[in-house]
Amino acid sequence: MKIAVLYFSATGNTKKMADVIEQSLAGLGAQVEKIDVTVPSARRESMDFSGWDGVIFGAPIHSMRAPRVLREWLQTLNGQGKKAAMYFTYGGFHVHPCHYSTREILAAAGFTVVASAEFLGAHTFNRGGWQAVPERPDASDFAVAKDYAAAVYARFSGKDAGVLGELEKTDMNEEFLDAIEGFRFKALTQLPTRNGKECSLCMACQEQCPSGAMDAEKGEADPALCIACLGCLDACPEDALEINDMSGVFAQRMEMEKSTPQDLNKKQSKIYL
């Protein structure tokens, strides 16, 4: 059986889970092709899915949905009736509408979605002073990913004829979720910038930017395009980019959620069948 794992991963968590899923599927005898669709040039205009028996889509949660640039690309695909599975990585807060809204997008694109999963992954904003699930994914998350690969394999192969069951429908409409998406810039008030620091202009920040926002020469991100994924900070080998300190916002957020970093870390990765 041939399976594609298409993943978007700005800061590496979603890729880690793609690696575990790939290894588990290969162990079951599948031929797996991993395709990284994080950068714009990898999100090809027309993709032919006919060579695969099933496609797994992996994405981080960005404000309770898949990242905007990925959602826009998924909407252009032609699933040709193929079976698909989804998974998301998230920083310990909320995933809820994402399974539902991404299944809607994939179903409209012609895929039959047979399974979904969510995995904990260190929150991207930890790079700016948060403390949300910093050690995740860990062995417990990888164990769930292994089980998930087995469940997806059974569904793709037809050994298990089930499809993804009813998901809790969100009462948040797209406009509301768009507004929530804007809140990230209340925490991230200083987008990635070089702030006069030395840089060898290796271009990694610009080449690995998922939204075409980063200008390496200027050493700053275009606020109209930046999705706040902080991939450029990760990509920079010289640690030359900086953002504002968000630790105060994290403390406020914990108070608002009536939660603690320990509570966030108690959450477990989950499979939806």
Ligand X SMILES: Cc1cc2nc3c(=O)[nH]c(=O)nc-3n(C[C@H](O)[C@H](O)[C@H](O)COP(=O)(O)O)c2cc1C
Determine the distance from the C-alpha atom of residue 6 to the mean position of all C-alpha atoms in its chain, rounded to a whole number: 11
Instruction: Work out whether 269 is an interface residue with ligand X (CB under 6 A).
Output: no
Contact between 58 and 9 (Cβ < 8 Å): yes
Q: Report the relative pairing of strands 112-120 and 270-272 from DSSP bridges.
A: antiparallel
Between CA 121 and CA 136 the distance in angstroms is 5
Q: Give the nearest distance from C-beta 192 to ligand X in angstroms.
A: 11
Among 3, 5, 6, 11, binds ligand X (CB under 6 A): 11
Among 24, 63, 116, 211, binds ligand X (CB under 6 A): 63
Crossing angle (nearest 10°) for helices 139-157 and 13-27: 50
Stretch that binds ligand X, among 117-125, 160-168, 194-202, 245-253 (CB under 6 A): 117-125
Token pair belonging to 203: 């271009």
Contact between 47 and 41 (Cβ < 8 Å): no
Q: Give the nearest distance from C-beta 4 to ligand X in angstroms.
A: 18
CB nearer to ligand X: give 146 or 184.
184
Instruction: Work out whether 89 is an interface residue with ligand X (CB under 6 A).
Output: yes
Among 49, 52, 57, 90, binds ligand X (CB under 6 A): 90
Among 4, 6, 14, 220, binds ligand X (CB under 6 A): 14
Between CA 14 and CA 19 the distance in angstroms is 9
Instruction: Work out whether 128 is an interface residue with ligand X (CB under 6 A).
Output: no
Q: 146-205: which residues touch ligand X (CB under 6 A)?
A: 184
**DSSP states of 200-239:** ----HHHHT-TTS-EETTTTEE-TTT-----HHHHH-TT-
H or E element, residue 57: strand 54-60
CB nearer to ligand X: give 112 or 259.
259
Q: Give the nearest distance from C-beta 51 to ligand X in angstroms.
A: 26
CB nearer to ligand X: give 68 or 146.
68
Among 3, 25, 30, 60, binds ligand X (CB under 6 A): 60
Q: How many residues bind ligand X (CB under 6 A)?
A: 25
**Half-sphere exposure (CA, 13 Å, Cβ side) for 219?**
15
Q: What is the DSSP letter of 195?
A: T
Q: Give the nearest distance from C-beta 252 to ligand X in angstroms.
A: 15
Which residues are at the interface with ligand X (CB under 6 A)? 9-14, 60-64, 89-94, 121-124, 184, 228-230
